Structure 1
C-alpha cells in the first residue's frame, strides 16, 4: 500500500486541517508526510486536542455486513458494502460501476484499499462522535487526493 508512507498521525493532521481550517489549509495542500517537529507541534495544540475529542472509535458491528454512503466535495457518491471476510464493493450511486477492495479495523479506524484499473485508492475512516457522519482523507496512488464524508445506511 502506497499511502503507508503517511503515518496515522499525518493522516489525522490532514483530516483535522480539512475539517477545522478548510480546503485552504496549508496542511491540506502538502505533497509529503510531515516532519516530526510539525507533528509534535500540531498534535499538542488545544484546537487539535478538542477536534480529536469529537472523534470516536468505530466497532466491528458498525462495519461488518453493512452498507455505507461515501461522498466527496465533487459530489461523486458511492455505496460501500462491507463484508465479514474483509472485502468490500464500492458501487457508484448513479451508473452502478463497481469496484472491489479490502478493509480492516485498526484501533477503531477502518482502513480501506480499493483497486481501480491502474490506481490504488486508500483511506482511513475516522468515526465522529457528533453526528454519525464520519470522515476520511483519500490517497490515490499514495498522493493526497480528496476529503470524504461517510455514513452508514444499514
Structure 2
C-alpha cells in the first residue's frame, strides 16, 4: 500500500505535461486542466477553498479531486499481434496549501474502462509534498489555487 502511495505521488510530481492548459468544464463540475504526451487527460474539481481577506481574498488552502482519464494504448500480445487496451480512470483527492505550494494525497481510486473499481487507497498517514516546479503537481495546484503565470 505504501508503494502505491509513493508511486502515485511520484507520478503527480514527475509526469511530463504539455504546456497548454484548457480550463474546459465537463460533466460533474470537473475542469480539463492539461494532458500529457501519452494522451492522458487531467481534470480538477475543487471541493473546498479557503480564502482570506488579508490576502486580497485569494485562496490559501483547498481540497480537490483530480480525475485522470488514461488514453487507450496499443500493446503487442503473446501472439505478436497488436491490440488496443482501453485506458483506466483514476480519481484522487488532495488537500493543498496555496501559500506553501504543498499538497497531500488523501485518497485514490482506480476504475477500469467499464467503470468497475479496481483498487482503492486511503493512506493511514497523510504527508505533504512540495510541488516541483514545472511538474504536473504544480500545474494542478496552480489551477486549483487560481495562480496564473
TM-score range, shorter-chain basis? Answer: 0.3 to 0.5
Larger radius of gyration between Structure 1 and Structure 2? 2
Name the one with the larger helix percent: 1
TM-score in terms of structure 1 length? 0.39
TM-score in terms of structure 2 length? 0.40
